Chain A
Amino acid sequence: MSNNTPSPNHFVAPLEETPLVAIDAVKVGERPSNLWIDAWRDMRRRPMFWISAAIIVLIVIVALFPTLFTQIDPRECILSRSNGAPTATNILGFNKQGCDVFSRIVHGTSTSLSVGIIVIILTTVLGVLFGMFAGYYGGWLDSVLSRAGDIFFSIPYILAAVVIMSVFSAYRNVFIISLAIGIFAWPATARVLRAEILRVKNADFVMAAQALGVSRFRILLRHVLPNSIAPVIVVTTISLGAAIVAEATLSFLGVGLPNSTMSWGNDISAAQTDLRTAPQTLIYPSIALSITVLSFIMLGEVVRDALDPKARAQR
């Protein structure tokens, strides 16, 4: 191996101790992996993910098939049972009107969930469109779209929703209340996406695609958007919980859904006068609301940790 012997202060490790390996040998795992696959593998290992996902699945089933969980008609209210204590069949007792609390919670689920889902569809569609074009094309389009977003952003969406709901008091339904919340909530999504697009669009792979002759819009859809969407998913999951709270808040303030519509917000609102005499009428709908909102926020947190390895390393 050598043509002359080394001097005494020239140390050479025996080859057996550090055998040479092939330079830059390809070492890949058994299964393919990328951001999404890795995120899924990471989430799968966390109990928090399974707990929140299980609760959310349960809530969805309750919303779709309320009669699976209770046979009692929530509209069968008998005033003589007003604020009555729980019985064997009416496990959570009765509210002021004498309706079954448990049944009302079960039947109110679909309202809360629908509002949440419609709001996030609305905010995501608006936010993605505004954020995507503002961030990607920049220039005057960015100025116009971003200022438009700022105008909506500067008004607290709850306040705006109160005003809208008061104006449209004749048309209070699930869709209108979702619209009232969503129309002022999308700028948050747009901002997050715009910032992410600004970062991703300067990546070398975008320039490489341009040099290949891929059209600008196609680059946006195929390369830039998929690489920017992760934070939007996080924001969306968390804001679903916030939208459900917003509906409850509006109903509580009396500008939400009409009393004829069963919703947790309405129930909480109606129960506030009887807090001392019949706390169950307030507490149980509140617990349902909290659990639902918490599950979505928890899921959002887990998704964020899984998608952002930096946040993971810091824990």
Chain B
Amino acid sequence: MSDRTSQNAPGTGGEQQPLLRIRDLEVGFQTTDGIVPAVRGVDLTLMPGQTLAIVGESGSGKSTTAHAIINLLPGPGRITGGSIEFDGKELTKYSEREMEDIRGKLIGFVPQDPMSNLNPVWSIGFQVEETIRANGIATGRKDVRAHAIQVLREAGLQDADKRLKQFPHQFSGGMRQRVLIGIGLSSRPKLLIADEPTSALDVTVQRRILDHLETLTRDIGTAVLFITHDLGLAAERAEQLVVMYKGKIVEAGPSKEILQNPIHPYTQRLVAAAPSLASRRIQSATHESASHALSDLDYAPTQVTEGLDLIAAAEERLEHTSRTKRPDAIVVKDLTKVYKIRGQGKGASGELIASDKVNFTVEKGTTTALVGESGSGKSTVAKMILRLEDPTSGSILIDGQDVAPLKGKGLLDLRRRMQPVFQDPYGSLDPLRNIGNTIGEPLHTHNVGDRASRKARVLELLDQVALPQTLITRYPNELSGGQRQRVAIARALALKPDIVVLDEAVSALDVLVQAQILKLLADLQAELELTYLFITHDLAVVRVIADNVCVMQKGRIVEAASTDQVFDNPQEQYTKELLNAIPGAGIALGV
């Protein structure tokens, strides 16, 4: 196993001593059924000052590999074989005490979730000072304090000395992640491990944070091991790329080369399915020449990428939707929602305008995407259209009918024509009801057909979303996220609605599964003439699925146009920022 790695492991070549050298690393998790391997023989080499990204889906072992380096494996995890050589020292032989000296001081770590990684009961200053003291960077009250202020300044926080006294809840997610990066880099480590550092953040924040991280680590000369699920992001931020699949490295090498010439079928799948890359590719193709077909880009879709190729899916979609004027399915006029909120201080109360005079229309049989970052009001608009929230003012017309006064029977009829699919595949199915009952519930509620015909319809729906019919007696806990989302789609389609509101319906899924679901949605639209309102934070996905885009910011629609117009010729500064934040901007794709 080691002969191949010595020849062509990533980053070898060059006479410099590698900073990190992992050989044949194996990590297993002890369970009642024995040891379950999570990492199976990983080799990688990281040179000083270099940035290397590990890319993979959930369960690929990428985070486990990173955690194994600093011996922070969760509970039952054990390194079962191989070696980790850091700066010439063998880390696997280190005791817990010796590792404590390495962690923080020589290897910094930036965790995934900025919300839960700062202790809410201690001030930011206390937590930064704690790190500084623990790593022996400075001693003495004044010195430590001065260092803490410097760390926060470096993290890009203005008036750092005042910020020291504040608590985590007074910081936004982006600011917290800046603090964590500051803490991670405070001792000038030789290596920084960043485990999905921006997955929980908005795209524009993500871009700023990663730019900042890049500048900092370049100045200090820190090598970065970057863990991510987003191939576009990895390629943009790292020189070296390692693709992991089922605990093994399937492909490794220079980022650009892997993107342009993916060889392992799994990497080919990832490249085909990554929305950020697909959207970039479509973009460059339309710019290059109008007649340039989208799919004959730098690699030909092969059999392994069948059903996953987002560009092919986008092309197929375009064939179905002709550019003729269709009747309006949804018309939203001056839709406003104001929440009363309790303010800080005694008796103070304020108003939060979640949606401010929102106007847009969705034509029958087309897809309109409502795009915005967290807090933009996009989900509030979706809930008002679904009549799950009542608007403060404004109106919603569905097929020309005002939905506000609808009650009882009228409202039931509306619900029959319009169905939602929600984001969280683990929360949107009742865990105690089997799949058959879940999909059949709408039929039951609306008294459609008898028992036998309902069952037949449920089986038909399972076929439509490509799930085996045997699932009818099974419960959601046996299904993966993607399969649960298929069940949710089947439930939404049970009453043969005209309109489906997809509220971040693919955001929680792994890229390959996401691509499959996007393909399924496109197929269903073509087959059933569905109208989609697609709520998302991810502009990259919009490019492949939507006909029209409305960009929302702070409760308002700042830009609304066809997808091509928005991507090719954005009018608003905010839209431009969002577009620039799609990972992969800096990569030449060799079209």
Chain A residues with a Cβ under 8 A of chain B = 1-4, 6-13, 15, 17-18, 20, 23-24, 26, 28-29, 32-38, 203-205, 207-214, 222-223, 226-227, 313
26 inter-chain pairs at a CB distance below 8 angstroms, sorted by A residue, are A2-B263, A7-B257, A9-B11, A13-B250, A15-B264, A18-B266, A20-B265, A20-B266, A23-B308, A26-B467, A26-B471, A26-B483, A28-B478, A33-B477, A34-B431, A34-B434, A205-B427, A208-B488, A210-B388, A211-B388, A211-B415, A212-B442, A213-B415, A213-B416, A213-B446, A313-B75
Q: How far is the CB of B521 from chain A (nearest CB, A)?
A: 15
CB distance from A232 to the nearest CB of B (A): 14
- Contact among B8, B427, B442 with A11 in the assembled complex (CB-CB below 8 Å): B8
Q: Which residues of A contact B252 (CB under 8 A)?
A: 10-11
Return B11 CB to nearest CB of chain A, in Å. Answer: 7
A213 and B249 in contact, given A9-B12, A11-B9, A223-B430 (Cβ under 8 angstroms): no
Residues in B neighbouring A32, C-beta threshold 8 A: 434, 473-475, 478
B422, B424, B476 — most chain A CB neighbours (10 Å): B422
Contact of A9 among B8, B427, B491 (CB under 8 A): B8
A212 touches B445 (CB 8 A): yes
Known contacts: A10-B252, A13-B251, A207-B422. The answer to whether A28 contacts B264 by CB under 8 A is no
A297 to B136, CA, bound (A): 51
Instruction: Give min CB distance, B197 to chain A, whole Å.
Output: 26
B388-419 vs A: 1/0 string, CB under 8 Å? 10000000000000000000000110011001
A-B contact count (CB 8 A): 158
- Nearest A residue to B412 by beta-carbon distance? A213
Q: When the two chains form their complex, are residues B411 and A213 in contact, meaning their CB atoms are under 8 A apart? A: yes
Q: Is the CB of B475 within 8 A of A34?
A: yes
Cross-chain contact B474 with A6 (CB below 8 angstroms): no
Check if B17 is an interface residue, CB within 8 A of chain A: no
Given A2-B263, A23-B512, are A9 and B429 also a contact pair (CB < 8 Å)?
A: no
- Given contacts A2-B263, A20-B266, A36-B432, whether A11 and B249 have CB atoms under 8 Å apart is yes
Determine how close the nearest CB of chain B comes to the CB of A6; give it in whole angstroms.
6
Q: A11-B8, A24-B483 are in contact. Are A6 and B432 (CB under 8 A)?
A: no
- Other A-B pairs, 4, CB within 8 Å; known A23-B512, A34-B431, A227-B432: A10-B253, A203-B427, A204-B428, A212-B415
Query: Which residues in A have their C-beta under 8 angstroms from that of B441?
Result: 209, 212, 214
Residues of A within 8 A of B12 (CB): 9
Task: Enumerate chain B residues within 8 angstroms of A6, measured Cβ to Cβ.
Answer: 253, 257, 261, 263
Type the 1/0 row for B300-318, where 1 means its CB is closer than 8 Å to any CB of A: 0010100010000000000
Pairwise interchain contact A35-B513, C-beta atoms closer than 8 A: no
Contacts of A209 in B (CB 8 A): 430, 441
Partner among A4, A18, A20, A203 whose Cβ is within 8 Å of the Cβ of B248: A18
CB within 8 A of A2: which of B4, B261, B423, B424?
A: B261
| C-alpha spacing A8/B13, complex, angstroms | 10
Q: Which residues of B contact A226 (CB under 8 A)?
A: 432
Assuming the contacts A1-B265, A28-B478, asked whether A13 and B248 have C-beta atoms less than 8 A apart, the reply is yes
Is B468 at the interface (CB under 8 A from chain A)? Answer: yes
A18-B250, A211-B419 known; A35-B477 Cβ under 8 A: yes
Contact of A208 among B75, B251, B428 (CB under 8 A): B428
Q: Is there an interface contact between B516 and A1, defined as CB atoms closer than 8 Å?
A: no
A193 → chain B closest CB, angstroms: 16
Chain A residues with Cβ below 8 Å from B419 are 211-212
Max chain A C-beta neighbours (<10 A), residue from B266, B308, B429, B430: B430
Closest A residue by C-beta to B435: A32
Contact assessment for A34 and B477 in the assembled complex, using a CB-CB cutoff below 8 Å: yes
Between A8, A13, A15, the greatest number of chain B beta carbons within 10 A of the residue's beta carbon is seen for A13
Complex CA–CA separation, A18 to B304 (angstroms): 14
The interface centre, meaning the residue of B249, B269, B432, B446 with most chain A CB atoms within 10 A of its CB, is B432
Our pick among B9, B308, B431 for the contact of A35 (Cβ within 8 Å) is: B431
Interface of A is mostly: loop
In the complex with contacts A6-B263, A11-B253, A24-B513 CB distance below 8 A: yes
Contact of A204 with B251 in the complex, beta carbons under 8 Å: no
Contacts of A313 in B (CB 8 A): 75
CA distance A20 to B434 in the complex (A): 30
Asked if B232 is an interface residue, CB under 8 A from chain A, the answer is: no
Among A15, A35, A37, which residue has its beta carbon within 8 angstroms of that of B265? A15
Given the complex of chains A and B, what is the CA–CA distance between A240 and B246 in angstroms?
49
Nearest-neighbour CB distance to chain B for A29, whole angstroms, equals 6
Interface string of B469-513 (1 = CB under 8 A from A): 011011111111011000010010000000000000000000011
Contacting residue for B8 out of A10, A38, A205, A212, CB 8 A:
A10
Given contacts A26-B468, A34-B432, A205-B429, contact A17 B248 (CB under 8 A): yes
In-complex Cβ contact of A24 among B266, B468, B478, B512 (8 A)? B512
B479 touches A26 (CB 8 A): yes
Contact partners of A33 in chain B: CB under 8 A: 475, 477-478
Minimum CB–CB distance from A187 to chain B (whole Å) comes to 26
**In the docked arrangement, what's the CA distance between A313 and B269, Å?**
36
Contacts of B420 in A (CB 8 A): 207-208, 211
Do residues A12 and B388 form an inter-chain contact, with CB atoms below 8 A?
A: no
Q: How far is the CA of A31 from the CA of B394 in the complex (A)?
A: 51
Q: Are A214 and B445 in contact (CB under 8 A)?
A: yes
Q: How far is the CA of A254 from the CA of B357 in the complex (A)?
A: 72
User: Are the CB atoms of A7 and B475 closer together than 8 Å?
Assistant: no
Q: With A32-B473, A34-B475 in contact, do A1 and B428 touch (Cβ < 8 Å)?
A: no
- Say yes or no: is B221 at the interface (Cβ < 8 Å to chain A): no
CA–CA, A203 and B434, complex, Å: 17
Q: How far is B423's CA from A286's CA once the two chains are assembled, in angstroms?
A: 56
- In the complex, which residues of chain B have a beta carbon less than 8 angstroms from the beta carbon of A8? 7-8, 13
B257 — which chain A residues lie within 8 A by C-beta? 6-7, 10
A29 to B4, CA, bound (A): 39
With a cutoff of 8 Å between Cβ atoms, the chain B residues found around residue A37 in the complex are 475
Contacts of B429 in A (CB 8 A): 205, 208
Give the residues from 223 to 274 in chain B that come closer than 8 angstroms, CB to CB, to chain A. 245-246, 248-254, 257-258, 261, 263-266, 269
CB neighbours of A207 from chain B (8 A): 388, 420, 422, 428
Q: Are A24 and B412 in contact (CB under 8 A)?
A: no
| Cβ of B147 to closest chain A Cβ, rounded Å | 37
Cβ-closest 6 pairs across A and B: A10-B253, A34-B475, A204-B427, A204-B428, A213-B415, A11-B252
* Complex Cα spacing A18 to B250, Å: 7
The smallest beta-carbon distance between B398 and chain A, in angstroms, is 14
Contacts of B433 in A (CB 8 A): 222-223
Chain B residues positioned under 8 Å from A15 (CB to CB)? 264-265
Q: Which residues of B contact A13 (CB under 8 A)?
A: 248-251, 264
In the bound complex, residues from chain A placing their C-beta under 8 Å from that of B354 are none
What 0/1 pattern do residues 188 to 213 of B give for CB contact below 8 A with A? 00000000000000000000000000
Kindly state whether residue B10 has any CB partner on chain A within 8 Å: yes
Q: How far is the CA of A29 from the CA of B446 in the complex (A)?
A: 33
Residues in B whose Cβ lies below 8 Å from that of A38: 477
- A212→B308 CA distance, assembly (Å): 31
Q: Which residues of A contact B299 (CB under 8 A)?
A: 3
Q: Smallest CB-CB separation from A229: which chain B residue?
A: B432
Tell me if B115 is interfacial: C-beta within 8 Å of chain A.
no
In whole angstroms, what is the CA distance A18 to B252 when docked? 14
Nearest B-chain residue to A313, judged by Cβ: B75
Per the 8 Å Cβ criterion, residues 376-390 of B in contact with A are 386, 388
